[in-house]
Amino acid sequence: MRIGLGYDAHRLVAGRKLVLGGVAIPYQRGLLGHSDADVLAHAVMDALLGAAGAGDIGRYFPDSDSQYQGISSMVLLSRVKEILSGKNLKVVNIDTVIVAQEPRLAPYMENMVANMAQALEIDASQLNIKATTTEGLGFTGAGDGIAAYAIAMIE
């Protein structure tokens, strides 16, 4: 068994869609980034790559490469699954937390789990997604951005 930890954060800005776990969430701002800036998927990818001893997402999908401009993080998550498969590794389970003051995410969690489980070719029961606020503290509490943490176990 191997364990990896992932973290990602992006700034909220006007003129972008908010995408978390591959779900477009209605909100007046979205996350700024080279891809779709899905912090949840990025944290999961880094946790999986870390558990595999395979670096981080910047090594495979650098923001300096135009082919990743606006790409869906579900596509990238599928590619991380292929990297693991190439090393004869498989996901045991993943636990995550999204840190956001707004919007309310509970109505979208089931779809996030379904999207990410499909991209990773795992059962939905192997992936847990939680959300929390910071009670107004820090950049997430001020509504300036959204962050996500993930921990993954692979074998």
56 is in an annotated binding site: yes
107 is in an annotated binding site: no
Separation of alpha carbons 104 and 26, rounded Å:
10
61 is in an annotated binding site: yes
> What is the structure's pLDDT at 86?
97
26 is in an annotated binding site: no
125 is in an annotated binding site: no
Please write the tens of the pLDDT for every residue from 98-110: 999 999 999 999 9
> What is the structure's pLDDT at 107?
96
Please write the tens of the pLDDT for every residue from 27-48: 999 999 999 999 999 999 999 9
pTM for this model (two decimals): 0.96
> What is the structure's pLDDT at 103?
96
134 is in an annotated binding site: yes
Torsion, Cα of 31, 36, 37, 42 (10° steps): 150
38 is in an annotated binding site: no
83-119 core/surface letters (b: 16 or more CB in 10 A; e: else): bbeeeebebeebbbbbbbbebebeebbeebbebbbeb
Torsion, Cα of 130, 136, 138, 144 (10° steps): 80
CB 129 within 8 A of CB 148: no
144 is in an annotated binding site: no
CB 44 within 8 A of CB 150: yes
85 is in an annotated binding site: no
CA angle at 8 for the pair 2 and 13, rounded to the nearest 5°: 160
> What is the structure's pLDDT at 150?
98
Name the residue ranges covered by the structural domains of the chain: 2-154
Residues with pLDDT less than 70, the chain = none
Give CATH superfamily name and number for 2-154: 2-C-methyl-D-erythritol 2,4-cyclodiphosphate synthase (3.30.1330.50)
123 is in an annotated binding site: no
